[in-house]
Amino acid sequence: MRQVLFKQIYFTGIESLFTISIVGFLAGLIVVTETNNLVGRNELLTVKILIWTIVRELGPLLSAIVIIGRSSSAFASELSAMQVSGEIKSLRNMAISPLSYLILPRMLAMMLASIVLTFYFQAIAISTGWVVTSLRMDIPLDSEIINFFETIDFSEIAASFLKSMVFGILVSVVSCYHGLRPKTAMTEVPQAVSQAVIRSLMAVFAADGVITLLVF
């Protein structure tokens, strides 16, 4: 189980860092550029919009979408193939619980990876926003950093943490559920992958709306 957990953490988390870095950089660049064009030289409002968009929403949401694209489909296809080939049945015959050996490590790995990748995404996006704002508006970088930490509230950080944790759990549960549904042929594997991805996206957006309404 420990080996399965480490393998899934590496696959879901570490191998996603490059993609998250690119997406975070572009998100920070786009948000700050559009904000500067809209409000002009208004440092405080720029910082607030950066917090509202990156910390509250885009950080957890875009990280979850990247994870769904990479890991949800992989989880569903791997487990579906194991189901069709009889490996799941063989595990049960050896008195190995598929829940503890296959599902729990994936759930824990995806939850941890989702939390870490969300805050990594936010760090990249916000740092990019600081640099772009400093260059475009000729504002000292240290002033932006101070204003950011004076403006951000603990509830916004807590909400971001809660969203990333819930998203990781939801995506892993939905992916494993569709992967482990009974199948008789390999032609059913692509259908399971498609359903896992679509329903993971639906679950993430629904949870995002509910948490946002409850917290803010």
Rounded to the nearest integer, the mean pLDDT of the chain is 86
Looking at the structure of the chain, the number of domains it has is 1
Share of the chain above pLDDT 90, in %: 30
pTM of the model: 0.86
pLDDT tens for 107-126 read 898 999 999 999 999 999 99
Q: 80-99 burial, b for 16+ CB within 10 Å, e for fewer?
A: bebbbeeebeeeeeeeeebe
pLDDT tens for 68-90 read 988 888 888 888 888 888 888 88
Q: What is the mean pLDDT of residues 160-166?
A: 93
Evaluated on CA atoms 55, 125, 27, 115, the torsion sign reads negative
pLDDT score of 86:
80
Q: Provide the CA 191 distance to its chain's centre, in angstroms.
A: 23
pLDDT score of 138:
77
Beta-carbon neighbour count of residue 3 at 10 Å?
8
Q: What is the mean pLDDT of residues 145-153?
A: 84
Residue 125: give the domain boundaries.
2-215
Check whether 162 has a pLDDT greater than 80. yes
Which candidate, 68, 208, 57, places its Cα nearest to that of 125? 57
